[in-house]
Structure 1
Amino acid sequence: MDGAVVLRHAARVRSVHTGAFGPPPWNEGAEQAAAFAARLPADVRRPGFTAALAFDAGEVVGFATAFTTGTPFPTGRCYPQAATSLGPRRTADWLCGAREVDELAVLPDHQGNGIATELLAAVTTDAPKGRAWLLTSVRSAPALAFYRRQGWTQATHPAPEGQGVAVFLGPRHPARRLAARPL
């Protein structure tokens, strides 16, 4: 769906964000939810923006947002960790101009029902030349396992202390076979 539809549901999308990312291992509080909500109106205007919402009884219970990663590669949020892990050439070649899954969230009571799988597919199936990617925290073993089950390839392998982010390349991303394998 387009940005206007997402913005009409912005309050509920923010609530889903809070419900999904508030509990461990994410432990994101009101400040992170407010930051997400504050950037959403700008995100819907980004090139290539797309989103999917999941409803149950008329209420939003999950969402995914994605857009085209710009060139030069962004420098805010967690982007520097990804760029450092991949190096400048792979960052530019693999991520810039590709479909970036920015957020994927499902309320805990609705997890395990295939909603996240459908949301992820909805925002990545039509990625140009299959070039889709995302960042996720290495603190969440369930998230890492979920993306692997969906056929995504972890392209970076941060330290095992549970810190940092991991870059995943989508199942049809042409660079998946070039990604470093874990030790």
Structure 2
Amino acid sequence: MTRPRRPDRGRPDELVPTPMTVDLTGLRAEYDVRDPRPLRERARLGFRAVALGLVAVACGVAAWWGGAEAVVRVLGVVGLVAFLRWMTDHPRWCARTRLEPEVPEVKDGGIGRGDRYRWWFVREITCRPGRAVPGRAVLGDGRRLRLHGMPADEVDRLAEALERARAAANG
């Protein structure tokens, strides 16, 4: 069984597929929403010690209150919370924007690859400083993609680079 093609992935008439290469000099290859400032090692160890103590207390209370079955439930919940914490810190799972000279990729999070579109399909890049995600790419069919992790000044540089590439491609 084949999946039907999404109708919103078609090309609009006003955008002509033109091979474009955007000069990304001065921009990073990948931006994500993780905080780039690392935690101090002492704070990490303190957090882990407190978390381990809380797990021990929760297991003790569960064993006293409900027996071995309750301990298994508590450990399952603790494992789920630890996995969700790891998932938000791991770059594969967090929202990100990846820039390549031919194809940008925008991912909102979750499993798998993000949305990939050719640069000619990006109509414009807008910047609204002061927002949590200041950059947006407006596609040819009107959809908007948030450019996760990019600061406002780099969104402006990307918009200028896209305009230069479009002017060079159109002659």
Rg (Cα) greater in structure: 2
Give the strand-richer structure, 1 or 2. Answer: 1
Query: Taking structure 1 as the reference length, what is the TM-score of the superposition?
Result: 0.22
Query: Taking structure 2 as the reference length, what is the TM-score of the superposition?
Result: 0.23
